Amino acid sequence: MAQEHGARQKKGPRPSVARGKTLKRKRGQDNLSSLQEQIEALDPKASVASFTDLPLSEPTTSGLAASHYKTLTDIQSRAIPHALKGRDILGAAKTGSGKTLTFLVPVLENLYRKQWTEHDGLGALILSPTRELAIQIFEVLRKIGRYHAFSAGLVIGGKSLREEQERLGRMNILVCTPGRILQHLDQTASFDVFNLQMLVLDEADRIMDMGFQRSVDAIVEHLPKDRQTMLFSATQTKKVSDLARLSLQDPEYVAVHEASTTATPTTLQQHYVLTPLPEKLDVLWSFIRSNLKSKTIVFLSSGKQVRFVYESFRHLQPGIPLMHLHGKQKQGGRLDITTKYSQAQHAVLFATDVAARGLDFPAVDWVIQLDCPEDADTYIHRVGRTARYERDGRAVLFLDPSEEAGMLKRLEQKKIPIEKINIKANKQQSVKNQLQNMCFKDPELKYLGQKAFISYVKSIYIQKDKEIFKLKDLQLEDFASSLGLPGVPRIKFIKGDDTKELKNASRAMTHLSDDEEDDDDGAKKADKKDKVRTKYDRMFERRNQNVLADHYSKLINDDGTIVDTPDENDDGEGSGDEDDFLTVKRRFEAGDEDLGIEAGEDNTLVGEAANKKKDVKVVNLDGKELIIDSKRREKLLTSKKKLLKYKGNGKKLIYDEDGNAHEVYELEDEEKFKARGDASEQRAKFLADETERTRMADVEDKALARQKKRDKKEKRKARERELLAMEDQSDDADLGVQLAPYQDHHHSDYELSAPESDLAAAPPRPSKKQKVFFADPSSDDDRVPKQKKNKGQQQQPGPIETLEDLEALASGLLG
């Protein structure tokens, strides 16, 4: 925009064009003041039926209409008016009731009424607990915000920090995951949030719980206190501690379904089946075989469980597409799966709780909880993936007899109606023998099975609610054999493991490392202590080492040296494996000749070759040892640049007034030093002083960088205002009108808009034939729920289909 105005000033606008623009601005200004008046006059308690009844700007109204949103849902009609008036909101409404629009509409509107431009910086920050949900929110924002001029970005990790850094400073609205945005707040000097107007937490109870506690508190520290804050969730509470942490000001608690008799959608049928742990997989298999024309999500307690069930069922070929989703997959794969599953008519998705909250997969028929959820809230969110926005859905919870009483009590406390059903005996099939066969033939699958077993047992062990989860009551031996395993894997527990912490901690940091999960007795403990061991070391120490995939085998050198490669894509939020933090010293193979590198005068390089046939050790100044082969050595000697690598770091010298060089820290006279007191005290004091000095310097640097940026922005804005005023003066002479600059942004490069495909038709409903798997205990009737017509269900248009699409989106500038 600044460029545009600069050019205009030089040439001078043609009178007719300028008059047209002035008129347009005047109209905009009038509309804006009238909108402001309407908002002030708006009675937030009056019921609003249609979006056109709300005092919304033209771009938002058009965006909603183009996305086929006409009437408001309950939560929308009760919360949007408060939010438009700038109130802090605590929004609670059932799953699938339209909470996303409830915060997105006010975000767009409140920034629009403030005439937010790119020079104003970040106006709204929307936090989501998972990447998938952030992507989904971002897509809805793109749909309804398509006629606005704001710039919006998606910051969810999984791509280069630097690329994001470059663009962040230009964003008006950001949708992000807590970890990644905190990284930017700490590290990106150009990213300034001093002007932030709105903070939104979707799935707020999840974001405020222990897993994100530190990140959220640190994020909030960066934000201005004077802002509008909105919290939404299907399991939202009025927890005082949360309100204090976010400094909410007199929030409006909008709990639409608080008075409702159930906490879950009324269109959802909920059942549980009593299935002893060793029979779970048989029942699940039989269910899938009987519902080949359905769309189902199966929730399991860990990524390892998900992988095993997915891989083994895939081998068994049930006759329906199978997919799997868990936090350890790479971002591209995760995106691919969510897109494919969204578009699928019939499919089974095996997932961890990464898919439990917020995801709006269209037309899901069944939610199966193969593993019991950790609490009733998780239950509510999992089953909420079906029966969304006026649709029907069915949910089935698998309970081991030991879990039944405890879980039913918890569900009742949360007003969740659930009924027991039985499995029709004639529909049951067993896959136990097939799994045993497969594990025998395919060691890789057996290995996955062992991992699945261990992770399941551990998941039960670390659960907090011991009224539900009783490890000692589970038939573990039979469970292991139901997975096809020849024996029960040995497990060692560490006391003090905490469910939430474990779930959220980077996997690399958990106590539960692979060596504790081994069923192997061959690994020698004494050895383990002395060596630096990688995950590959541990794999090779296992008895079942032939289970390793080709990929791992390639990592072994001929002589058995193991090469560990760092996972560049591991962003700490999902990809990578649990032990990636362990690395071995990189080792080069021994060469034929000696290195011939002599110690230099400054002793930077020491060549040491005891024997021509042996390794050559190079010790650099930092004391690191490297072993170099002959070919590499030759190359090394020809390349000064490469040699620099072994030279260690240079010394920093300071010159005094007489031009004499000094080291930064020089030894002082020993007597003087002793006279000043105890050495350790002096050391501690020195460290404390230096730490404080660097901290202060860092604070000053950051403040300076921010101030510079603010000044620059201010200058730019002042210039823009000046130009507009000049234009106004000349136009006023002709027309006597005032200008409003925001209209100029319309359809500019920074527009928050993208062409959208129209809504896809809802997939056909499952046929009657496929729904005869579960039987009501009180009757033999196979009656199925009537499927309601899919009234106005908003399908995901799914424009983000590939990683490239996501990168393009995440890069921020849309239009």
Ligand X SMILES: Nc1ncnc2c1ncn2[C@@H]1O[C@H](COP(=O)(O)OP(=O)(O)OP(=O)(O)O)[C@@H](O)[C@H]1O
Least Cβ distance, residue 136 to ligand X (angstroms): 7
Two structure tokens written together for 312: 């083994």
Residue 332 burial by Cβ neighbours in a 10 Å radius (0-12, 13-18, 19+)? middle
Name the H helices within 157-260.
Answer: 161-168, 178-187, 204-208, 213-222, 240-245
The answer to whether the CB of 318 falls within 8 A of the CB of 522 is no
DSSP state of 71: B
The answer to whether the CB of 782 falls within 8 A of the CB of 774 is no
Q: What is the C-alpha to C-alpha distance for residues 641 and 391, in angstroms, rounded to an integer?
A: 66
Q: Which residues are bridge partners to 322 per DSSP?
A: 348
Least Cβ distance, residue 796 to ligand X (angstroms): 7
- Nearest residue (CB) to ligand X, 177 versus 794: 794
- Nearest residue (CB) to ligand X, 138 versus 453: 138
Amino acid at 209: D
Least Cβ distance, residue 209 to ligand X (angstroms): 16
Q: What is the C-alpha to C-alpha distance for residues 147 and 519, in angstroms, rounded to an integer?
A: 60
Q: What is the C-alpha to C-alpha distance for residues 779 and 757, in angstroms, rounded to an integer?
A: 46
- Nearest residue (CB) to ligand X, 76 versus 450: 76
Q: What is the C-alpha to C-alpha distance for residues 620 and 623, in angstroms, rounded to an integer?
A: 5
Two structure tokens written together for 393: 């859905």
Q: What is the C-alpha to C-alpha distance for residues 384 and 391, in angstroms, rounded to an integer?
A: 11
Two structure tokens written together for 372: 């019991």
Going across the sheet that includes 268-274, the strands are 322-325, 347-351, 295-299, 366-369, 393-399, 268-274, 419-420
The answer to whether the CB of 150 falls within 8 A of the CB of 76 is no
Least Cβ distance, residue 631 to ligand X (angstroms): 58
Least Cβ distance, residue 651 to ligand X (angstroms): 58
Q: What is the C-alpha to C-alpha distance for residues 385 and 392, in angstroms, rounded to an integer?
A: 11
Least Cβ distance, residue 378 to ligand X (angstroms): 13
- Nearest residue (CB) to ligand X, 390 versus 444: 390
Q: Which residues of 35-61 are buried (b: 16+ CB within 10 A; e: fewer)?
A: beeebeebebeeebeebeebbbbebbb
Least Cβ distance, residue 495 to ligand X (angstroms): 36
Q: What is the C-alpha to C-alpha distance for residues 768 and 507, in angstroms, rounded to an integer?
A: 44
Least Cβ distance, residue 301 to ligand X (angstroms): 20
Least Cβ distance, residue 206 to ligand X (angstroms): 10
Q: What is the C-alpha to C-alpha distance for residues 640 and 719, in angstroms, rounded to an integer?
A: 51
Q: What is the C-alpha to C-alpha distance for residues 598 and 766, in angstroms, rounded to an integer?
A: 78
Two structure tokens written together for 90: 């605590």
- Nearest residue (CB) to ligand X, 132 versus 403: 132
Least Cβ distance, residue 31 to ligand X (angstroms): 24
- Nearest residue (CB) to ligand X, 572 versus 763: 763
Q: Rounded to 5 degrees, what angle do the CA atoms 438, 439, 441 make?
A: 65
**Interface ranges with ligand X (CB under 6 A):** 69, 71-73, 76, 93, 95-101, 234, 358, 360, 384, 388-389, 792, 794
The answer to whether the CB of 164 falls within 8 A of the CB of 192 is no
Least Cβ distance, residue 104 to ligand X (angstroms): 9
- Nearest residue (CB) to ligand X, 200 versus 234: 234
Report the largest interatomic distance among the alpha carbons of the chain, rounded to a whole angstrom: 101
The answer to whether the CB of 193 falls within 8 A of the CB of 122 is yes
Least Cβ distance, residue 48 to ligand X (angstroms): 11
Tokens 């299935």 map to which residue? 275
Two structure tokens written together for 689: 């002083």
The answer to whether the CB of 562 falls within 8 A of the CB of 556 is yes
Least Cβ distance, residue 733 to ligand X (angstroms): 48
Instruction: State the Rg of the chain over Cα.
Output: 32
The answer to whether the CB of 88 falls within 8 A of the CB of 254 is no
- Nearest residue (CB) to ligand X, 81 versus 96: 96
- Nearest residue (CB) to ligand X, 256 versus 277: 256
Helix and strand numbers (H, E) in the chain are 29, 21
Least Cβ distance, residue 250 to ligand X (angstroms): 24
- Nearest residue (CB) to ligand X, 188 versus 793: 793
Q: Which residues are bridge partners to 229 per DSSP?
A: 199
Q: What is the C-alpha to C-alpha distance for residues 800 and 793, in angstroms, rounded to an integer?
A: 19
Least Cβ distance, residue 379 to ligand X (angstroms): 13
